[in-house]
A and B are shown apart, each in its own frame.
Chain A
Amino acid sequence: MTSSHVMKFMMGLYLFIFFTYLFGPLIIMSFTAFNSAEFPAITPWECFTFRWFNEGKIAYDGQHLAGLFTDWRLHDGLISSLIIGGGVVLLAVPIGMAAAIVLTQVKSQLRDIYYSISIMPVLFPGVIIGISTVVLWDRLAGLGGEGFISEIGRNGIFLTILAQTCFISTYCFLIFVARLQRFDQTQEEAALDLGASQTQVFFKILIPYLAPAIASAAVIAFLASFENYNTTVFSILSDQTLTTVIASKVRLGISPALSALALSIIALTIIAAVTYEILRRREEKKYALSQEKYVTEKAAISRIDKDYKVGFKIPKGIVAIILLVILCSYGGTQILKNDLYGQSCIDAADKEKKSKFLDQLQVLEQNELSDEELGGGNLGGNLDYGDIFGDPNLFQDFAF
């Protein structure tokens, strides 16, 4: 009995550690987005601020750190990421669908080879796909002279769409294969028997059946394209996408504006996940209700009539939400009370830093040597040499 308790405890502990590992860094990063310090940190907490979401800051030493809404490079990158994502969806979804449908028609001896080729791009490292696309199109552009080919062969956005389509098509392919496995072939046959043409069967039966797969393939393709870095960094050439902008920012020096960006993405993700979960539950409930209704109707007499519990049930999640609200309001009042929010706090912090900076400058100026001192005479290094060169007997032996 106790051993199973121990096991349970260990498992709980392990789960806790694991999820801390998953979420801890993200949560801490989210907090750093609200710290007014230039370096994303928690412990020297300066002021609570939203400036990394808005205008950023011009530091006392003249260095400009852009905020999320004023950073034009991020905006440009975001726009080209959206264009590329759209292009990849338009190419990869039809390709994946075609490949998956044809898989059902290929002879069984060839099916393994066909399948292997289809999933091969996922097994290629992303950098290789990017490189191979670039070298090929650079060559084509070189051959094409000044024409259209040379234009698109050196267009980073076009190359990135092609390179990403190469492996994202496989993701789409796999989604369609999974859906097609449950397809009832007799539907097609019935339609054909009733006089539909092949094209009509495709548009009236296959496409509607595949619609959910098309939707999820489009979403997956867009997300995969949006967050890809390894392939994009090679194929984008001189353009920029959101990920390459982020990468260059991280490499140049990390700024809390990136925390703000990440927090925005996290918020969007959580909203999407919750919405999806709620929709799914509602759908499930509807389905369960219809099933129940069907069963009760079948049974005619209310033998299996359930007596429904009437009353208000408190959902478990509410406790967490209430706790969160209490915590937030407590934290908020504390911040306001201690004057940790707003311009006055930021000004104070800046002033302090500025004075420190000035102090350092003063110290530097004090230590600086005047020209006269550097010129030689009574100070420092020149003395040693002065002795040598000053010695009239030193080069005596060399004089002929």
Chain B
Amino acid sequence: MNSYFFTQPFFKKNGRAIAIYFLVAIIFWFVFLVIIPQLYMLDLSFRTNVPPLERGGPKDFYTFEHYQHFVFGSKTAQDAFNFVDLGVFGRTILVSIFVTLANLAFCYPIAFYIAKIANPSTARLLIVSLIIPFWINELLRSFALRILFANEGVINNVLTGIGIIDQGILFITYDIGLYTGLIYAYILLMMFPLYNAIESLDVNQIEAAKDLGSSTFRTHWRVVIPHAKPGIVSGCTMVFMLTVGALATPVVLSSPNTLWFPQLIYQWFNMNDNWSRGSAYSIILLIISVIFVLTMMRIFKVRIGEIIR
């Protein structure tokens, strides 16, 4: 076994006690914490929803019912498709893509500034001040935005106080608060990969491009962005994954009549007590995430090791 997996004989290299510790820790992690739970959830998503006592009984059989429910709706429904759930799903994905692109657009100038223009002490200060807001709980950050955007909130009160608008704008109802909150929530995870990637670019390359008469835009398009590609891919992947799977921010900021996809999962799971359907919807979310990562890797030709460091 040793020679198949390891460069040197494993037990001899590490000593018996340490080798056993390594193996136990890794197998515990991979098998018991990562693989088995996911496989069991996959299995559950294909089963009927039965109370615990009837598990293994005649009512507990394999079925596609939950996936069918996601696409076609319940059997008694009038519509041909389950427009409610599909709508939530589509909206979640489209908004997540929008949030990712917005994050990229917002972060790129700052990352470039900190990495290449600012002097070291300013850069250091900026980085520390970037980190500080992200040590604060995501829920509390969303709560801060909620104070701003509530119907009787700070923004509405100030705007009506000045007299720009007569009536408060319904930021929460129209989900403006939610989109702002989602952009706010994971902006750091875009900033740092971008910063690291741009930081490793040699300044001489930028100057050479300038000396050869390239415009600022062209320099960025042809020199900086191609160099920063792994960082861009990494940041986009992380932000997209976290946004699609976000639960805390939507709980605080989404309007009462729209749902975010993980909220839908939460409802099936905790309020309707239908664990199988919750699992099926989770599997759908997982598949979308995997497809997104693979697409990003394929389009931009980066390895998975470059996405997460």
**B117 CB contact (under 8 Å) in A11, A95, A132, A227:** A11
Residues of the A chain whose Cβ atoms lie less than 8 Å from the Cβ of B241: 123, 125
Partner of A107, one of B5, B126, B265: B5
Contacts of B158 in A (CB 8 A): 43
A36 at the interface (CB under 8 A from B): no
Tell me how far the C-beta of A173 lies from the nearest C-beta in chain B, rounded to whole angstroms.
9
Measured between beta carbons, the chain B residues less than 8 angstroms from A270 are 132
Q: Report the stretch among B13-21, B62-70, B76-84, B221-229 that lies at the interface.
A: B13-21
In the complex, whether B200 has a CB less than 8 A from a CB of chain A is no
- Residue B299 is within 8 A (CB to CB) of chain A in the complex: no
Please determine whether A94 and B278 come into contact, CB atoms closer than 8 angstroms: no
B117 pairs with A125, CB closer than 8 A: no
Q: Does chain A have a CB within 8 A of B59?
A: no
Q: Mark B247-281, 1 if CB is under 8 A from A, else 0.
A: 11001100000000010011001100001001100
> Roughly how many angstroms separate A11 CA and B110 CA in the complex, as a whole number?
9
B106, A18: Cβ atoms under 8 Å? yes
Q: Known contacts being A44-B157, A131-B278, A250-B143, is A26 close to B136, with CB within 8 Å?
A: yes
Q: A223-B135, A273-B132 are in contact. Are A43 and B154 (CB under 8 A)?
A: yes
Majority SS at the chain B contact face: helix
B286 at the interface (CB under 8 A from A): yes
Say whether, besides A40-B147, A135-B44, A26 and B133 are in contact (CB < 8 Å): yes
Q: Are A273 and B133 in contact (CB under 8 A)?
A: no
Docked pose: A120 CA to B187 CA in angstroms: 21
Inter-chain contact A135/B136, CB cutoff 8 Å: no
With the chains together, A107 CA to B6 CA distance in Å?
A: 5
Interface residues of B in 186-200 (CB under 8 A from A): 187
Q: Which residues of B contact A135 (CB under 8 A)?
A: 37, 40-41, 44, 275, 279
Q: Which residues of A contact B55 (CB under 8 A)?
A: 139, 142
Taking CB atoms, residues of chain A closer than 8 Å to B8 are 105
Tell whether A229 pairs with B144 under 8 Å between CB atoms, given A107-B7, A131-B279, A269-B132. Answer: no
- The A interface is mostly helix, strand or loop, or mixed, namely helix
Residues 165-181 of A, flagged 1 when their CB comes within 8 A of B and 0 if not, give 11001000010001000
List the B side residues contacting A243 at CB < 8 Å: 137, 139, 248
Q: In the bound complex, how far is the Cα of B278 from the Cα of A98, in angstroms?
A: 34
**A125-B245, A127-B247 as given contacts; A102 in contact with B22, CB under 8 Å:** yes
Cβ of B28 under 8 Å from chain A: yes
A256-288 CB mask vs B (1 if < 8 Å, else 0) is 001101100110011011000100000000000
**A128 surroundings in chain B (CB, below 8 A):** 38, 41, 245, 282, 285-286
Name B25-65 residues within 8 Å CB distance of A.
25-26, 28-30, 33-34, 36-38, 40-41, 44, 52, 55
- In chain A between 28 and 48, which residues have their CB closer than 8 angstroms to a CB of chain B? 28-29, 32, 39-44
B119 within 8 A of A: no
- Determine the distance from Cα of A119 to Cα of B251 in the docked complex, in whole angstroms: 27
A229 lies within 8 A of B147 (CB): no
Count the A residues whose beta carbon is within 8 Å of the partner chain — how many?
88
Bound complex: CA A117 to CA B205 (Å): 37
Is A335 engaged at the interface, CB distance under 8 Å to the other chain? Answer: no
Most chain A CB neighbours (cut-off 10 Å) among B17, B136, B279, B290: B136
A117, A125, A165, A251 pick with most chain B CB within 10 angstroms? A125
Say yes or no: A41-B152 contact (C-beta < 8 A), given A199-B17, A273-B128: yes
| Complex Cα spacing A29 to B184, Å | 15
> Is A174 touching B309 in the complex (CB atoms < 8 A)?
yes
Note all chain A residues with C-beta closer than 8 A to B143: 29, 246, 250, 254, 258-259, 262
Whether a CB of chain B sits under 8 angstroms from the CB of A124 is yes
Measured in the bound complex, the distance between the Cα atoms of B79 and A65 in whole Å is 46
Q: How near does chain B come to A378, taking the closest CB pair, in angstroms? A: 40
B-contact 0/1 string along A365-378, CB 8 Å cutoff: 00000000000000
Q: How far is the CA of A201 from the CA of B40 in the complex (A)?
A: 40
Binds B, one of A67-75, A108-116, A345-353, A390-398: A108-116
Check if A105 sits within 8 Å of B304, measured CB to CB: no
Q: Is B308 an interface residue (CB 8 A)?
A: yes
A133 interface contact, C-beta 8 A: yes
B34 touches A121 (CB 8 A): yes
Assembled-state Cα–Cα distance A117/B187 (Å): 26
Q: Does A230 interact with chain B (Cβ within 8 Å)?
A: yes
Contact partners of A251 in chain B: CB under 8 A = 251-252
A to B CB contacts below 8 Å, 7 in the list = A41-B152, A43-B154, A105-B13, A107-B7, A132-B37, A254-B143, A265-B140
Give chain B's interface residues, CB within 8 Å of chain A. 4-8, 10, 12-15, 17-18, 21-22, 25-26, 28-30, 33-34, 36-38, 40-41, 44, 52, 55, 106, 109-110, 113, 117, 126, 128-133, 135-148, 150, 152-154, 157-158, 161, 184, 187, 237, 241-242, 244-248, 251-252, 262, 265-266, 269-270, 275, 278-279, 282, 285-286, 289-290, 293, 303-305, 308-309
18 new A-B pairs (CB below 8 Å) besides A15-B126, A41-B153? Answer: A22-B129, A26-B144, A28-B144, A29-B143, A98-B25, A105-B8, A106-B7, A115-B305, A117-B30, A119-B308, A125-B241, A125-B285, A128-B285, A131-B265, A233-B266, A234-B269, A262-B144, A270-B132
